[in-house]
Each structure stands twice: as C-alpha cells, then as structure tokens.
C-alpha cells in the first residue's frame, strides 16, 4: 500500500514537509540594507513575515525594517492581526495611533502621539490605525516586531480611495461630508 502525505494548512500557509525543511527556511538576508525611499510617501517597508521567511509559520511573530527619507511618512494604516512594537535606530519620528470608536457616540476617537529618538520604543495596539512621520532633516530607520507571522496591512487612504472597483461617490461624499470633486481628486491620486 502506498503512503499518502497530507499537507497541513496552518494560518493560511501550507506547512513544509519536515523532511524537506532546511536552514534557509529560517534565514532572511539583507535587513542591514536601506530600502528605496524614492516614492511619493518617502518611506519603504521591508517585511520579514511568513511570505519571505517560511520558518515563521505558526510562530506568531514577524519583523519589518522601515526606512524614511527626510520628512518621509509611513501613512496611516492598520495591522488587523498584530500588535507592533517599534524601535528607532536612526532619526527622529513623530508617531501616533487612534483609538477605536468609543462606546459613547458623543465621545471622539483619541489620538496618542509621541516624538521618538534613537533607542525609543513605541507600541501600536493590534488593529488600531497608526502612522510614523520623519520630522528630521536626515534619513531615519526603525525595526518593528509584530505579534503575528502574517500581520496583514491595510493602508487607509489606498483602501478607501484606491480600491478596484472604486467605492461610489455617493458613499464617500456622505462618509467624508465633502463635495464629489474632492473625492474625485483623492481617487485620482491612487489610480
């Protein structure tokens, strides 16, 4: 009788046959190299999650390096499956996160911010919208650990104004309480 090898599917990834695992499954080179920040935001996120490093599957942890040009921004985004712990290596960053909607509709979402310097650590709780902005005249970079091997990321502006197909003008003009031309302008930035 022939033996049957069944694949084990864990956290959205198929586990590698243990007999085929090697040291390269647990190795990622290059986080010592700055990312290319020549883009509209002036930042580059280099992820090291289960997609780049298969050995992370089931371990509940991942890492990123984020590089910032002077005045570069890692725009408002959220990680639906992870808390992020960020440590500044070089530069000065203004960082913050916004709380989820309060129970009382009369209350407003609260913004927590801090200016960080080399060696400072800041935590962004799971699922909350957060950002980092390089307020310095020099480049900056950080490392951040995330509490999931596959934390996911939703960049707010890209998701709202750059979806395919686009969210209708009726929805966005009512949600943001602005003229349709403002929405069209914002959508054009992401197409």
- 20: Cβ contacts below 8 Å, ≥ 6 apart: none
Joined tokens for residue 16? 């590698």
Q: Was 126 annotated as part of a binding site?
A: no
CA dihedral 21, 26, 27, 31 (to 10 degrees): 150
74 is in an annotated binding site: yes
| 77 appears as a binding residue in the annotation | yes
3-state secondary structure of 82: coil
Q: Is 11 annotated as a binding residue?
A: no
Contact predicate 136/76, CB 8 Å = no
Residues in the chain, overall count: 191
> To which residue do tokens 């129970």 refer?
103
Residue numbers in the known binding site are: 74, 77, 79, 84, 130
Residue numbers in the known binding site for Mn(2+) are: 77, 79, 84, 130
Residue numbers in the known binding site for oxalate are: 74, 79, 84
């Amino acid at each position: 009788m022939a033996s049957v090898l069944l694949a084990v599917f864990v956290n959205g990834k198929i586990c590698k046959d243990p007999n085929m695992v090697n040291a390269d499954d647990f190795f990622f080179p290059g986080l010592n190299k700055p990312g290319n920040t020549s883009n509209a935001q002036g930042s580059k996120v280099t992820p090291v999650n289960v997609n780049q490093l298969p050995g992370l599957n089931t371990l509940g942890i991942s890492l990123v390096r984020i590089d910032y040009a002077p005045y570069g921004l890692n725009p408002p985004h959220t990680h639906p499956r992870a808390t992020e712990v960020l440590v500044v290596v070089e530069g000065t960053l203004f960082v913050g996160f916004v709380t989820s909607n309060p129970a009382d509709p009369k209350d407003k979402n609260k913004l927590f911010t801090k200016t960080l310097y080399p060696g400072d650590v800041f935590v962004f709780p799971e699922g909350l919208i957060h950002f980092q902005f390089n307020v310095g005249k020099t480049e900056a970079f950080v490392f951040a650990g995330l509490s999931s091997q596959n934390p996911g990321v939703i960049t707010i502006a890209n998701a709202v104004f750059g979806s395919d197909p686009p969210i209708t003008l009726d929805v966005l003009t009512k949600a943001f309480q602005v003229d349709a031309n403002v929405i069209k302008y914002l959508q054009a930035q992401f197409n």
